[in-house]
Amino acid sequence: MESCIFCKIIKGEIPAAKVYDGSKFIAFLDISPANKGHTLIIPKRHYVSLEEMPDGDGKEFGELQVKLGKAVMKATNAEGFNLLLNNGKAAGQEVMHAHIHIQPRFSSDDFHYKWTHKKYDDGEMQRMQEKIKQFL
Ligand code: AMP
Ligand code: ZN
C-alpha cells in the first residue's frame, strides 16, 4: 500500500523506534503515546482489520502481545497495561493498517476508558450468547 504510513515504516521509508522485528510482525513505539513506552504491534502484510488476518497468524500475534506487554511493563515500571485494538473506523481506527496498542498504565495516570453500560432486555442476553456461538 503506497500511501500507508505503517507500510512505509515496514519498508524503512520513514523512521520508527522499533523494539521487535519478526517474520510476520513488527513492534515500535507510538509517536504520540498515551504513556511513555506505548507500543504498537503491526502485521508486516498490509491489511486493515483482524477479519483479514491470515489463518494461523493469530497465534504469534497473541503470543507477542503477552511477550511485549511484559517487556513494556518492566521497561516502564508500569503497574499494568491495556491492550487496545481499534478494529474498524466505527471502533476508532485512524491508521487503516491493523495494529494493537500496548499502553503501560499507572494508578496515577490521567486517562480512563469509559463507556455507558447498557442493559439487556429479558432473554436478550441468551439470544446474543447463542448468536455469537453460531458464528464460531
Ligand atoms: P488508531 O487510532 O488505533 O488507528 O491509532 C493509530 C496510532 O498510530 C496512534 O496512536 C498514533 O499516535 C500512531 N502513529 C501514527 N503515525 C505514527 C508513526 N509514524 N510512528 C508511530 N506511531 C504512529
Ligand atoms: Zn499498510
Q: What is the DSSP letter of 88?
A: S
pLDDT digits (tens, 9 = 90+) for 30-44: 999 999 999 999 999
CA–CA separation, 42 vs 107, rounded Å?
Answer: 27
**What local confidence, expressed as pLDDT, does residue 113 receive?**
81
**Centroid of ligand 1 to alpha carbon of 110 (angstroms):** 19
Confidence of residue 77 (pLDDT cuts 50, 70, 90): very high
Question: Is the minimum distance from the CB of 78 to ligand 1 under 6 angstroms?
Answer: no
Q: Which ligand is in closest contact with the Cα of 1?
A: 2
Question: Is the minimum distance from the CB of 5 to ligand 1 under 6 angstroms?
Answer: yes
- pTM for the full predicted model: 0.96
pLDDT digits (tens, 9 = 90+) for 86-123: 999 999 999 999 999 999 999 999 888 889 999 999 99
**What local confidence, expressed as pLDDT, does residue 122 receive?**
98
**Centroid of ligand 1 to alpha carbon of 30 (angstroms):** 6
**Percentage with pLDDT > 70 across the chain:** 100
Q: Residues 97, 99, 112, 117: which is the catalytic one?
A: 99
Question: Is the minimum distance from the CB of 15 to ligand 1 under 6 angstroms?
Answer: no
| Residue at grid coordinates 515500571 | 77
**What local confidence, expressed as pLDDT, does residue 112 receive?**
81
Tell me: pLDDT of 131 over 90: yes
Q: What is the DSSP letter of 118?
A: P
**What local confidence, expressed as pLDDT, does residue 114 receive?**
86
Q: Is 99 a catalytic residue?
A: yes
CA–CA separation, 46 vs 136, rounded Å?
Answer: 25
Question: Is the minimum distance from the CB of 16 to ligand 1 under 6 angstroms?
Answer: yes
111 or 62, which is more confident:
62
What is the set of domains in the chain, with CATH numbers?
Answer: 5-134 (3.30.428.10)
Integer CA distances (angstroms), 17 to 14, 54, 56, 61, 100, in order: 10, 26, 27, 19, 16
Mean pLDDT score across all residues of the chain:
96
**What local confidence, expressed as pLDDT, does residue 2 receive?**
82
| Residue at grid coordinates 510476520 | 24
